[in-house]
Amino acid sequence: MKSWTKRMTPIVGLVTVGALVTACGAGGRPSGGGDAAAVSAPETGITETSVTIGATFPLTGVAAPGYSEIPTGTQAYFDYVNAAGGVHGRQIDYIVRDDGYNPTTTSQVTNEFVFKDGVFAMLSALGTPTHRAVVDFLNGEKVPDLLVASGSRQWGDDPEAKPYTFGWQPDYEIEGKIIGQWVAENMPDAKVGLFLQDDDLGEDSERGLRPYIEDQIVEVQRYTSGNTDVAPQITALEAAGADLVLGFNVPSYTALSQLAAMKLNYDPQWFYANIGSDPALIGSLLSNFSKGAVAATNPLDGALTTEYMPGVDATDNAWVKLWQKVWDEHGEAGELTNYRIFGMSAAYTFVQALQAAGENPTREGIVDALEKMGGAAANPSLAPYRYSVDSHLGISGMRIVEINDGASDPLTPVLVTDLGDSPIEEDGSAADDGPPASGIPESAG
Amino acid sequence: MQQLLTTSLAGLTLGMVYAAFALALVLIWRSTRIVNFAQAPMAMITTYIALLIVDAGIPYWIGFVAALLSGLVLGAIIERVFIRPVEGKPEMNAIILTLGLFVVINAVAAIVFGSHYRSFPVPFGLRGFEVGDVTVALTGFDVFSICSVVVVMMLLLALFRYTDVGLKMRASAFNQEVSRMLGVKVTGMLTLGWALAAVVGSLSGLLIAGGDLVYPSYMDSVVVYGFVAAVLGGLDSPVGAVIGGLLLGLGLSVVSGYVGSELVPLAALSILIVVLLVRPSGLFSHATARRV
């Protein structure tokens, strides 16, 4: 008997401590459902004076060129909002961590955000492979996972499975559809070669493209992110006689594919998807190689791409004027770039949602606010959002543009569509709206 | 036909870079009997030195020479400071130490040079030659790469085979005790071996960087492929290293172009396993019999 009690004492002790710890944990994170609870005990990451949010970005590594500028834009816009008094009197505290585009690191730093920093929400975490590693974890912990900076459809096509996650940019599938239809109508004789990143980026866009240009595709080549020798892929495209190459790749691979093509004297019509086509970035990467020999004209001149928000070259656009003002007042060193505009636009949408979530925002409150905001809200992109109870996908469309002198000339009106068979339609509703005079979304919601 | 030609030429240039790196590994192996995994980050540092010089507006070739010279100095310093204390201990100690250096140098470089991508200029054009209708997918820089690797190989061959210093280096690596008794300054030879290997390593760093994107870990894949090339040729033989590099470059280019780029690392490792199973001492090694 004696030995039995002896053995049981530590076990009982352990169980008690465990129960206590669980209780404390539960107490620290209010359910957020009841309004009374939300008022008395503020939501995780929210105090009377601040809202803390987190973001993971590749600040180093293969995806860093360009993308590492996005959080500097977001920070500048939050500084602008904070200087004007914040949102409902709260300052936005924005923490960025580097994941090096490595999913293992993403998991690790996202854990830190949730358990150590206790963030209210994640904003614009970047990358398909990286974010896939944490999306279930964030939904399991009920952390709003807003405006994921990746065009994979998985962030928004099934809100029941991922109720806390929202996409942001047009997904690769609708981009593929819009590009596919345009090619079929305007270049019906082109022999199309596909240059695809071997993940969701390539798969989703190919699914969008195929129905329109199935019989025009002569070759499909995929590259593995990290393998920087793409000469064999470009060679295969040339060998198949492709005279129109559609590239769905990240910016550094645009530069690499251009270099490989130069070496082969291969000169097809290039059409890069939005995410890989920033002329300023590609131009600066390429012009350095020959110390000026390539710089005379921007190497991407004449290439086609898509555009879903006004870029730095649209200096007359009301949104771009706002971004320029924000960057001049609060930006760090360097010029305003399209990547920084991307970061500011996402920050704007977040502020919009936070305003709409009310005086005492909760995690569920901001999810509801985004779902209700839908396509009606004025937004910095060219097309309305698709947010609703049934879809957490973001911007609904884009226009096709040609790059000339580093600027983009629109070839089509803004075209909007959705996944699957939904038709592609012209839409001018969001193209000409402008920001409010203050540059900060109003709290009317 | 054009595709085969282009794929082969791409493989040839790539193979030459692997060969240069393998040569550096062979050099260290012959002069110290260890495998230097820190070769890649050492070459990366010297490439960054060249990049800083060229970006400052100074001509490319001055940067090129400066990189090679700093390789010489860096190799000697690393041998004196880090490797010397473990010399004479089991070889494994030194090899683990080079792995440690690999990590440390990479991390320090990211802090000093920043980890963003930078483009590394080339002194020649970026376009391939055209002969009639056929494009020969070699740029001026590719031709330069091929020539310089062949020259370095010949120099190494001559060094080990025909010079006194080369003989002393081999002797010190083979048996330190005996060499010392015969009057060879073994420590000096080891330092020289490291310094020369670092020069060849720097060259490979410059060759792979030219006309490509540079970032602190850009040599990481080269260390794997260069090692496979060196093993393929037999760690002992400069000619073997070059031929091993060429075979590997050609093989991987064909795999990437005709099968799929995702299989490239797998193909390299398969080659490594097959060579180790069938001819553990490499295709061109003849030292096994004597080494027992």
Q: For residues A133 and B221, which has the higher predicted lDDT (pLDDT)?
A: A133
How do the domains of chain B map onto residue ranges? Answer: 2-291
pLDDT of residue A116: 93
What are the E-state strand segments in B181-226? Answer: 213-214
Does residue A22 sit within a domain? no
Q: How far apart are CA A91 and CA A93, in angstroms?
A: 6
Q: What letter would DSSP give residue A425?
A: E
Q: For residues A42 and B25, which has the higher predicted lDDT (pLDDT)?
A: B25
- A13-52 pLDDT, tens digit each: 555 555 444 444 443 344 444 444 444 567 899 999 999 9
Q: Which domain holds residue A160?
A: 43-170+312-396
- A193-235 pLDDT, tens digit each: 999 998 888 999 999 999 999 999 999 999 987 777 888 899 8
Tell me which of A244, A273, A307 is where a domain ends.
A307
A189 confidence band (pLDDT: 50, 70, 90): very high
User: Which of A230, A232, A263 is closest, CB to CB, to B127?
Assistant: A263
Q: A203 φ, ψ to 5°?
A: -65, -50
3-state class (DSSP) for residue B81: helix
Length of chain A: 445
Does residue A76 sit within a domain? yes
Does residue A3 sit within a domain? no
Whether A222 sits inside 8 A of B260 (CB atoms) is: yes
B43 confidence band (pLDDT: 50, 70, 90): very high
Query: Is the domain of A183 the same as that of A292?
Result: yes
- B48-73 pLDDT, tens digit each: 999 999 888 888 899 999 999 999 99
- A356-408 pLDDT, tens digit each: 998 889 999 999 999 988 766 778 888 888 999 999 999 999 999 998 877 88
Q: Which of B2, B113, B126 to mutate to test the interface with A (most CBs of A within 10 A)?
A: B126
Query: Is the domain of A95 the same as that of A115?
Result: yes
Contacts of B55 (CB under 8 A, 6+ apart): none
pLDDT of residue B209: 87
Chain B interface includes A17 (CB < 8 A): no
**Closest CA of chain A from B106, distance in Å:** 12
Does residue B200 contact residue B149 with C-beta atoms inside 8 Å? no
B185 confidence band (pLDDT: 50, 70, 90): confident
pLDDT greater than 90 at residue A242:
yes
pLDDT of residue A204: 92
User: Which pair of tokens denotes residue B90?
Assistant: 């089991």
Give the pTM. 0.80
Query: Is the domain of A75 the same as that of A126?
Result: yes
**Closest CA of chain A from B115, distance in Å:** 5
CA A87 to chain centre: 23
Does residue B241 contact residue B292 with C-beta atoms inside 8 Å? no
pLDDT of residue A321: 93
Whether B3 sits inside 8 A of A264 (CB atoms) is: no
* Tokens 């596909």 found at: A194
Query: Is the domain of A178 the same as that of A116?
Result: no
Q: How far apart are CA A178 and CA A274, in angstroms?
A: 12
Amino acid A289 reads F
Whether A235 sits inside 8 A of B221 (CB atoms) is: no
pLDDT greater than 90 at residue B231:
no
pLDDT of residue B280: 79
Residue of A nearest to B255 (CA): A232
Positive or negative, the CA dihedral A248, A254, A259, A265 is: positive
Q: Which of B4, B6, B16, B214 to mutate to test the interface with A (most CBs of A within 10 A)?
A: B6
Does residue A410 sit within a domain? no
Does residue A55 sit within a domain? yes
* Axis-axis angle for helices B140-162, B164-174 (nearest 10): 80
CA B241 to chain centre: 9
What is the Cβ-side half-sphere exposure of residue B54, based on CA atoms within 13 angstroms?
A: 26
Query: Is the domain of A50 the same as that of A143?
Result: yes
Query: Is the domain of A328 the same as that of A355?
Result: yes
Q: How far apart are CA A229 and CA A224, in angstroms?
A: 10
Of A3-17, A124-138, B80-94, B267-281, the poorest mean pLDDT is in A3-17
Whether A229 sits inside 8 A of B215 (CB atoms) is: no
pLDDT of residue B29: 86
pLDDT of residue A287: 72
The predicted model gives A127-146 an average pLDDT of 93
User: Which pair of tokens denotes residue A365?
Assistant: 């409150």
Query: Is the domain of A241 the same as that of A341?
Result: no
Residue A41: burial class (beta carbons within 10 Å; 0-12, 13-18, 19+): middle
Does residue A99 sit within a domain? yes
Chain B interface includes A255 (CB < 8 A): yes
pLDDT of residue B286: 59
Query: Is the domain of A53 the same as that of A93?
Result: yes
Chain A interface includes B53 (CB < 8 A): no
- A246-274 pLDDT, tens digit each: 999 988 899 889 988 888 888 899 999 99
Of A414-423, A424-433, B227-236, the poorest mean pLDDT is in A424-433
- A318-347 pLDDT, tens digit each: 999 999 999 999 988 889 999 999 999 999
CATH architecture type of domain B2-291: Orthogonal Bundle (1.10)
Contacts of A289 in chain B (CB under 8 A): 119-122, 126, 211
pLDDT of residue A35: 45
Query: Is the domain of A198 the same as that of A290?
Result: yes
Query: Is the domain of A347 the same as that of A321?
Result: yes
Does residue A253 sit within a domain? yes
- Residues paired with residue A165 on neighbouring β-strands, in sequence order: A145
Number of domains chain A is built from: 2
CB neighbours of residue A236 within 10 Å: 21
pLDDT of residue A6: 56
Chain B interface includes A218 (CB < 8 A): no
Does residue A78 contact residue A94 with C-beta atoms inside 8 Å? yes
Query: Is the domain of A327 the same as that of A258?
Result: no
Query: Is the domain of A54 the same as that of A162?
Result: yes
Does residue A199 sit within a domain? yes
**Minimal CA–CA distance to A343: which of A150, A123, A70, A125?**
A70
**Closest CA of chain A from B53, distance in Å:** 13
